[in-house]
Amino acid sequence: MWDVLEQVNTAPLEVRDLRVSYGPTRAVDGVSLEVRAGEIFGLLGPNGAGKTTTLSAIEGLLEPDSGSVTIGGIDRHAKPREAKARIGVQLQSTGFQPELTIAQITRLYAALYGVAMSRQGSRDVLRSMGLEDEASRRFGQLSGGQQKRLSLVIATIHDPPLVLLDEPTAGLDPQARRQLWNRIEKMRESGRSVLLTTHSMEEAQAVCDRVAIIDHGKIVTVDTPAGLIEKHKDDPRVTSIAHGQVTLDDVFIGLTGEDVRD
């Protein structure tokens, strides 16, 4: 368990003036954001807006051109191992071995993180995600929703104070999506902080305490979902596309444009 006093006094995540380029293309252009203790923070944006690249830079999968990432007061660049130990990550797609049972996968990744876990311990962890009855099933036999829930188990198996979720409910049916929302909210209740990317305005309003909209690598606006609506309800770009009362969808499209992104 992380130090509670440190969690109170230090933001779980601070990103300052982050810039990332792919050749001549600037994918992230001066992004700054802060995720507070016990907060679910949503990063919304069209395809290619810079969401996943921002998460990759925070996680350490790529080095930014400039800027800083501080995780619980630890500089990710200066102390990458210490910073990484404080993060749990769920990517859009999982690469777990399909022939292994989920109990075996749980114990394997616990060992990789240096977490002692018995067979009973792995079942207890799986029970917390509603997967105890599936412990002996192979990963390749699980439904999409069950695979996503197992990914959350692995992302949090080392008890990190910060969890990064890249479109955690993409491709799930409404029932599986609601179940995963409940699991994410339980992370907040346990004191963890969550940064998630999503295309879903419904998801942002359902689970996020605050939301940032990113477009062309820049943060456009940040507030609570209700605060974003209130802040931009009279913006001509928003009112011109709204049908009746302004929604978060209207704000998102008004600020990022109506063109479809590939």
SS3 213: strand
Kindly state the DSSP code that residue 140 receives in the 8-state scheme: G
Residue 203: the pLDDT is: 92
SS3 20: strand
Q: Where are the domains of the chain?
A: 4-86+161-256, 95-159
pLDDT per residue as tens digits for the range 195-236: 999 988 999 999 999 999 999 999 999 999 999 999 999 999
Region 42-54: what's the mean pLDDT? Answer: 93
Average pLDDT, the chain: 89
Sorted by sequence, the CB contacts under 8 Å of residue 259 that are 6+ apart come out as none
pLDDT per residue as tens digits for the range 64-90: 999 999 999 999 999 999 998 899 998
Q: What is the pTM of this model?
A: 0.89
Query: For residue 87, how many C-alpha atoms fall within 13 Å in the half-sphere facing its CB?
Result: 28
Q: Which range has highest mean pLDDT (127-136, 194-203, 252-261)? A: 194-203
Displacement of CA 66 from its chain's centroid (Å): 22
Residue 146: the pLDDT is: 86
Instruction: Inform me whether the pLDDT recorded for 250 exceeds 90.
Output: yes
At residue 24 the predicted structure's pLDDT band, cuts being 50, 70 and 90, is very high
Lowest mean pLDDT among 23-37, 152-166, 216-230: 152-166
- Phi first, then psi: give them for residue 198, nearest 5 degrees: -160, 155
Lowest mean pLDDT among 2-11, 31-40, 121-130: 2-11
Topology of the domain comprising 4-86+161-256: Rossmann fold (3.40.50)
Region 124-145: what's the mean pLDDT? Answer: 85
